[in-house]
Amino acid sequence: MTGVLLGIARHPRSRAPVELVERVEVTLDGGIHGDFRGAMRGKPYKRQITLIERGDWDAAMAEVGHRIAWQERRANLLVDGIDLPQVPGTLVKIGGSLMLEITRECDPCERMEALAEGLRAAMTPDWRGGACAMVIQGGWIAVGDEIRIEES
């Protein structure tokens, strides 16, 4: 089961504008370089990186009748061609070396309502809001990299 990394987004602080990048380093301690959520604060920290499936975002957009860019979800990684397992502990490999562990569902917050009325509800079923993950092994990633689910 393989997919592709379609987008990488980061923001330097809470509520800061989102920046799209083509390639970035991801580390154990810092997560996505330049993203404020990457630094692990508190224990246990389960939201170092967030992933969302393109199909889930498109379905939510269709439900609310809008066309909003995926990065407005404020997720870090947009993936396609793969169904992210809704099972904490699942390992996801991106590119040649990055290994992430799914920790939990990424619940949509009230900020989604500011984007489009009904968006928070549209993102609630079936982990449509995405998945949170922790870095298990760092590395460089780039748009176009292969993504695969690893046997745990």
For the chain, the structural domain boundaries read 2-150
**Is it the case that residue 20 has pLDDT exceeding 90?**
yes
The burial of 53, by beta-carbon neighbours within 10 Å (0-12 exposed, 13-18 middle, 19 or more buried), is given as buried
What confidence score (pLDDT) does residue 56 get?
93
- For residues 143 and 42, the model is more confident at 143
CA distance 141 to 96: 8
**Is it the case that residue 23 has pLDDT exceeding 60?**
yes
- For residues 19 and 122, the model is more confident at 19
- For residues 44 and 65, the model is more confident at 65
CATH class of 2-150: mainly beta
Binning the chain into helix, strand and coil, the percentages to the nearest 5 are 20, 35, 45
**Is it the case that residue 43 has pLDDT exceeding 60?**
no
Which tens digits make up the pLDDT trace of 137-152? 999 999 999 999 997 6
Greatest CA separation found in the chain?
40
Average pLDDT value for residue range 77-99: 95
Confidence band for 2, pLDDT divided at 50, 70 and 90? very high
Confidence band for 58, pLDDT divided at 50, 70 and 90? very high
Minimal CA–CA distance to 104: which of 25, 49, 31?
A: 49
